[in-house]
Chains A and B, each alone.
Chain A
Amino acid sequence: MKNLAIILLVLLGFTSCKENEEEMFTSIQVNLEFAHVLNGEALELDGKAYTLPSGESFTPSKFKYYISNITFENSQTGSTYTLADGYYLIDEAGKKEITFEVPAGSYDKLSYYVGIDKERNLSTDQVGDLDPNNDMVWSWKTGYKFLVLEGEWEYENSDRRGLVIHIGNNDPETEVNFKEFSFDLSSEGLTLGSEAMVDLDIEAEISSLFTGDSDLVVHELESTSIMGGPLAISVANNYQQSLFSIK
C-alpha cells in the first residue's frame, strides 16, 4: 500500500506539472544572440571586402557596441522588468551571445539601449563589461564609446584610407547618442512566458549606419574619422532606425 501511495503521489505530481506549466518555473532563461551583417552578408574581420551603400570598398577590422538597460514589458499590464547592472559588450571579435534570467511572466515587448547611461558612463565602476581600461573607453569627459566600427576603405583606386566611427556621448551633459531600440515580440510570435528558456536571434545590419535621415557618402566626407560632432549624431540617428531586427 505504501508503494502505491508513492506511485500515486508521483503521478499526481506529473499531472499538476502539466496543468500548471507556466507556474512551474520561477524565471525564464533568455539567450540573446547577435549576428552582424553588412549589406546582408555575414560580417568577417579577416580581410574580406564589402561594399558600402555609397559605393566604396570597405574592409572592416572592428565592430562592437555596448548593450544596456535590457527591459522586458507586458504591454497589457504595463509591468516591466529591467536587468540591473546589465552592461554587455557585444563584439564581432568576441562575445556575441548573452544569457540572463528574467522573472517568470508574460512579456511581449523587448527594449534595450546601445550605449551607457549618463551616471555609469562617467564612473570607473567595473560592472558587467564596463572596464575603465578597455578599448571602449573614449575620454575622461565623454565616457565610453557606445559603438565602434573601424576598417579600411577605397574608392576608385584611391590611397589606403581608414574609416573610424566611434559613437559616444558628444558631451557629458546630454545623452543624444544614447539610443533605445524596442521590439514587438508578439508580432514575431515570440511572446515570453510559456517556456522556461527562450532564444532570441537579433541581426545587426551595419549599412544602417550610412543610410537613413542623412545618407553618408564616405568618399566625399571631409574626414573619415567620425568621433563626435554633428556627423556622429547623424550616424546614431541613422542606426537607431534600422540597426537591429529580430530573426
Chain B
Amino acid sequence: MSRYPITYSIGIIMICTSIWACKEELVEEPLPENSEIELQHPDYFPNNIASPSDNPLTEKGVELGRMLFYEKQLSLDGSISCASCHQQAKAFTDGEQFSTGVNGTIGVKNAMSLANLHWTSRFFWDGRAESLEDQALQPISDPTEMNLPIEEAVERLQNDPDYPARFEAAFGTDQISAELVSKAIAQFMRTLVSGNSRFDQWINEEIVLTDIEQLGMELFFTHPEASISLRGGNCGDCHLGFLTSGDRNDLLGFHNNGLDSDENLNSGLEAVTGKSEDKGKFKAPTLRNIALTAPYMHDGRFNTLEEVLDHYNEHVESNATLDILILEASNEVITPGDPVKLHLTTQEKEAIIAFLHTLTDETFITDPAFSDPFN
C-alpha cells in the first residue's frame, strides 16, 4: 500500500510535466520529422470513415505501433508479443484453436485475423471493445494472454533506452502512458489493409475468375429463394460487400449462426449488453484471407472450410436467437418444422470454397511494412 502515494505523486509530476511540455511545444516549431499519412485503400472500400480525431495516422506513430506490436517486453516474462498470436504469414492468426499465453496458459477464443480493421466497429468476438484503441491494450493485461499489468508495461517502455524518444517523435512527449501505447498500436493496426487479392483484381477488371470461382461468388452473395428457384449460399447477408465483414452499425454485425443448441449456447454479445436476445451472437469477421486463418469460428471448432460449409449447409442448430436470415434460407422449399438446411449441392459448396480462396492476398502477408521490425 505504501507505493500508492509515491506513484500518485509521480503521476502528478508526470501530468504537470506533460502539460508544461505541451505548452512549450505550442511555442516551439512542430516536430518536423513526423507527418500525417493518409490510409491507402481500394476506392471501393468505404471512403467516408475517418480515423479518430484524437489519433490521426502519422508516420512515426505507425512506425512505433509496429514496434510495439512485435515487442515481447509487453508480456510478463518477455516471451510473447501481439505478433505471436497474430502472425503475418497466417493473415495475423496463429493456426491454433486457442492461443497460448505466457506460462502456457490456454485462452478460450480463437485468435481473430487482422485486416481492414479501419472499416469495422466493435472488436473481439463478443464486441467488448468499442474502438481499436480500446482493444489494443486488453491482450497485454489479460491473464490468459500477455498477463502484464498495463502500468508495468508503461514503466518498462519508459525505462527502455529507445522508446521514450520514439514516443517523443510520434506524440510530442517522451512521457509514455497507456493511452499513447494504445494509440500507437491502433495506428499500426489501421494500416493493415488487405486489398490485392484475386477478388480485388477481379473487381478492378484486371483478371477474370474461373467458372467455379464465379459461380461461388454469385452463390456467396445470394440469399436463396426456393420458391423462385434462386440458388444461394447465404454468406453475404452477414459478410457484407467487398469487405466481406459485418455491418458497422450499432451491434448489427453480430449474429447467432446456429453452432449450438440452446443448452450449450455461449453468451457472446450477451456478456457485453446483458440482453438475453444477444446470447450466442458473435462478430461476423471479415473473410478476407480466410483460407489462411484456420481453424474457424469463435472457438476454432472447425479445422477446414469444408467443415464450415457443412455446418451452414446441414448442421445449423435452430436455437432461440438463431439469425432469421439463416432460419429463413433454403435452396429447397421447406415445410414448417423441417430442420434448417441450405440444401446446397456438393459442387455448389466447392464453388463457394473456390471463391473464398480468391480472398487470399499474397501482397498482404508478405508486405515488409507489416513485418517484424526487429528482424
- Give A residues with C-beta under 8 Å from B: 47, 61, 93-94, 124, 126, 131-135, 137, 139-141, 150-152, 158-164, 166, 222-225, 227-231
Q: Residues of B contacting A124 with CB < 8 Å?
A: 44, 203
B residues touching A (Cβ–Cβ < 8 Å)? 44-48, 119, 203, 217-218, 221-223, 225-228, 230, 236, 240-243, 247, 249-250, 252, 277, 318, 320, 324-325, 327-329, 333, 336-337
Would you call B227 and A222 a contact (CB within 8 A)?
A: yes
Contact, CB under 8 Å: B218 / A139:
yes
Cβ of A137: which chain B residues have Cβ within 8 Å of it? 236, 240-241
CB distance from A76 to the nearest CB of B (A): 40
The CA-CA distance from A231 to B336 in the complex, in Å, is: 20
Listed by A's residue number, 23 A-B pairs whose Cβ atoms lie within 8 Å are: A47-B277, A93-B249, A93-B252, A124-B44, A124-B203, A132-B241, A134-B46, A134-B247, A158-B336, A159-B336, A159-B337, A160-B318, A160-B320, A162-B324, A162-B325, A163-B328, A164-B328, A223-B225, A228-B225, A228-B228, A229-B227, A229-B228, A231-B227
By a CB distance below 8 angstroms, the chain B residues around A135 are: 240, 247, 249, 252
Q: Which residue of A lies closest to B324 (CB)?
A: A162
B327: A residues at CB distance < 8 A = 160-162
- Is A227's CB under 8 angstroms from B333's CB? no
Q: Return chain B residues, CB-CB under 8 Å to A223.
A: 225-227, 328, 333
- Assembled-state Cα–Cα distance A162/B225 (Å): 14
- Choice from B48, B119, B277 contacting A126 with Cβ under 8 Å: B48
Chain A residues positioned under 8 Å from B217 (CB to CB): 140
Assuming A139-B221, A139-B222, A227-B230, is B249 touching A164 (CB within 8 A)?
Answer: no
A161 and B329 CA atoms in complex are apart in Å by 11
Shortest CB distance B140–A (Å): 31
Q: Please tell me if the beta carbons of B247 and A126 are within 8 angstroms of each other in the complex.
A: no
**A222 touching B48, Cβ below 8 Å:** no
* Cβ-defined partner of B241 (8 Å) among A134, A150, A229: A134
Q: In the complex, A158 Cα to B327 Cα: how many Å?
A: 14
Cβ–Cβ contact A166 & B45, under 8 A: no
Q: Contact: B324 with A150, CB < 8 Å?
A: yes
Quick one: given A93-B249, A93-B250, A133-B119, are A224 and B328 in contact (CB under 8 Å)?
A: yes
* CB closest chain-A residue, reference B320: A160
